[in-house]
Structure 1
């Protein structure tokens, strides 16, 4: 990594590092949803979300001593699953800090890979506090869910693949929580002429608040999109998105639910609410271009939540 943060060369190196370890996900035509729309299907990734990319790139850089001390992270679910999966594949001790209301479905998947999952915190901010205490006590290695240059570079490989499959793309639409995915894609694709649009739930505007302030700002997330409920946007994401002029739009929970239903019915994709946020912005008319790609970022959702959303109107 350079002193300037994350460069496109870093993303290209990450692509070489993770090649053969993660899936190259397809770009699917979605004209049935909106003219000129294609979907980057990251829900087909190992562990069901894009998070496997950043985790794989970060774990590859661990020293022998860091591996002996084990790894730790904080997550509502998708990063927990990816970190547990990656740690299991490299025989590393792993603990993930989450919170009481986080998705049991996602956390049970993390446990199935052998990770210890701590849900003593009441909310995301409390989970970060417990994580910091654990790191200080044990010396475990932090694998941050979004504010780490190697994680950001790994997530940016999504952007490289989009450009390979659709080099003339005008707009890439990206769901946003802590900002690791959108900042990585921005590094990979903005310099090649693609406009990047970040999509946040109305009840979790961490990136918008961070861009306004020029630094991470704490928010109290309230959204059905559990994968987009980071308590702040990362420093790296704010710097990268501000420099590149990334546009931020918001969508309501009802719009996210409708996009999830449309993806299921018209694109045959069983995604989670967070994964549908980008498509929600397109369907709501907040993003328009001749050639658009929306990242469907994940598909980890409990059957009871999915069935309730799909059955409702």
Structure 2
């Protein structure tokens, strides 16, 4: 497949020189995160997979790069008045952290329903947090109102050449460390990261394929590029890239430089978060796992290629992470809930438990249901949560229960 190249006669809003200037500007003030090969993920996908660990930044996301590059270009008057942004995510923390370091006042406007942990984390980086409105759009409108009233400098999360150039330093580092990378797989929300990285990938004679990744629930940039009208709504694990309207600057760069956009399912995102924790021992949020989700979704597309994946963030709620890991155990057959029909008589539970014991299956939890069931009054439903070695072990257990004349069904996940 032929890859896109830099247009010859139409200069784009961000150049490789802008990205190199950003790299020099922010050097020593952000973490130069490692780019490491994953042998296990390479074996699993058929590609040679390199991971860029941006979840190791101080605020656990690449967003620091663009925010810092922007802050360092403000004049003294703008620094004195301060900056403002609308964000409940990684942009808020990255901007607040570096503004605080540089002695620049920062104000972050968040919707009123923002989880308290995100509010306290952002305040912990020295920002003045204002809760306004029930939606991001309302918070954004309020931030622009304060910008006009107070003379603050508004720092956009993605649609700003300074932000884009800063995010592009991720790709510069990757290609300095691993020049043989021939494919970059990059999450797309508003488009700042992929705009900066594709600027690098298509410059200086490089012929690197750039593939964007969006959650199926939020195909906003996909819609823009392909002139489709798929809905953007729903609860996605990848809330960091759940953007309804991409930027105008970023859309121009994506249309010019990005070779294709892949949409990934929630199930693939969950699987990828779980795999990265189990295999690489690294915590990523849903958006950070999107690149791997694309490889798992379309292995033939990437087979034999040397692929760079950006683990763009690691800010995931611990409780949500626990749910994702447990659901992955259930899908792989290592944890299951079986619904077994019993007769309500002494010894019934004991006899079922014997079968679990004979097959060395660990019972985690039991739940009898006598009332809210469509079984006859003398029947009962028993739900058993159990732990098995793998899918084959689970199948052997279910076969043994059926041979013993029990009706049994697996309670499946969505």
Which aligned pairs between 1:228-243 and structure 2 lie closer than 5 A? 228-243=241-256
Q: Give, in whole Å, the separation in 2 of the partners of 1:14 and 1:211.
A: 28
Q: Does 1:68 align with 2:80?
A: yes
Deviation at 1:31, TM superposition (A): 2.5
Q: Tell me which of 207, 212, 218 is aligned to 1:198.
A: 212
8 Å contact kept, 1:160–1:188: yes
1:168-179 pair list within 5 angstroms: 168-179=180-191
Partner of 2:37: 29
Give 1:54 deviation, angstroms.
0.4
- 1:103 Cα shift? 4.4
Q: Give 5+ residue unaligned stretches, structure 2.
A: 1-9, 329-414
Report the counterpart of residue 309 of structure 1 in structure 2: 324
Deviation at 1:182, TM superposition (A): 0.5
Q: How does 1:146-185 map to 2 (within 5 A)?
A: 146-185=158-197
280-289 vs 140-149, which deviates more? 280-289
Cα deviation, 1:148-170, whole Å, max 9, x if unaligned, reads 10110000000101111111211
Cα distance in 2, alignment partners of residues 239 and 218 from structure 1:
21
Partner of 1:258: 271
Indicate the structure whose relative CO is greater, using CA pairs within 8 Å and at least 6 residues apart. 1
**Which among 144, 151, 156 is matched to residue 144 of structure 1?**
156
Give, in whole Å, the separation in 1 of the partners of 2:197 and 2:273. Answer: 23
Show the 5 A alignment for 1:24-63.
24-33=32-41, 34=45, 35-63=47-75
The reply to whether residue 279 of structure 1 matches residue 296 of structure 2 is no
1:106, 1:301 within 8 Å by CA — same for their partners in 2?
no
| Structure 2 residue aligned with 1:122 | 134
Q: Indicate how the Cα distance of structure 1 residues 81 and 31 shifts in structure 2: closer, same or farther if over 3 A, else same.
A: same
Tell me if the contact between 1:124 and 1:230 (Cα under 8 Å) persists in the aligned partners. no
Deviation at 1:108, TM superposition (A): 2.3
Q: Distance in 1 between matches of 2:27 and 2:231?
A: 35
Task: After TM superposition, give the deviation of residue 225 of structure 1 in Å.
Answer: 1.2
> Contact 1:73–1:142 at 8 Å: present in 2 too?
yes
Q: 1:103-118 residue pairs with structure 2 within 5 A?
A: 103-118=115-130
Whole-angstrom CA distance in 2 between matches of 1:187 and 1:164:
15
Correspondence 1:294 to 2:290: no
Write the mapping of 1:73-88 to structure 2, written as runs, cut at 5 A: 73-88=85-100
TM-score between both structures, scaled by the size of structure 1: 0.93
**CA 1:260–1:103 in 2, change beyond 3 Å: closer, same or farther?**
farther
Check the 8 A contact 2:112/2:132 in 1, yes or no.
yes
Q: Secondary structure at the match of 2:156?
A: coil
1:7-26 superposed matches below 5 A = 7-26=15-34
Pair 221,71 (structure 1): closer, same or farther in 2 beyond 3 Å: farther
**1:246 positional shift:** 3.0
Which ranges of structure 1 fall in alignment gaps of 5 or more residues?
none
Q: 1:10 to 1:221 in 2, by over 3 A?
A: farther
Other-structure match for 2:257: 244
Structure 1 residue runs of 4+, over 6 Å off?
A: none
User: Judging changes above 3 Å, is the alpha-carbon distance between structure 1 residues 82 and 306 closer, same or farther for their aligned structure 2 residues?
Assistant: same
Q: CA deviation at 1:220?
A: 4.5
Rounded Cα–Cα distance in structure 2 between residues aligned with 1:160 and 1:16: 11
Q: CA RMSD in A?
A: 2.0
Shift of 1:204: 1.2
Distance between the aligned counterparts of 1:26 and 1:15, measured in 2? 16
Greater mean alpha carbon deviation, residues 126-135 or residues 37-46: 126-135
Please give the per-residue CA displacement for 1:92-129, whole angstroms capped at 9, x wherever unaligned.
21111222444443332111112122332222222221
Encode CA deviations 1:179-212: one digit per residue, 9 max, x unaligned.
1000000001123111111100111112112224
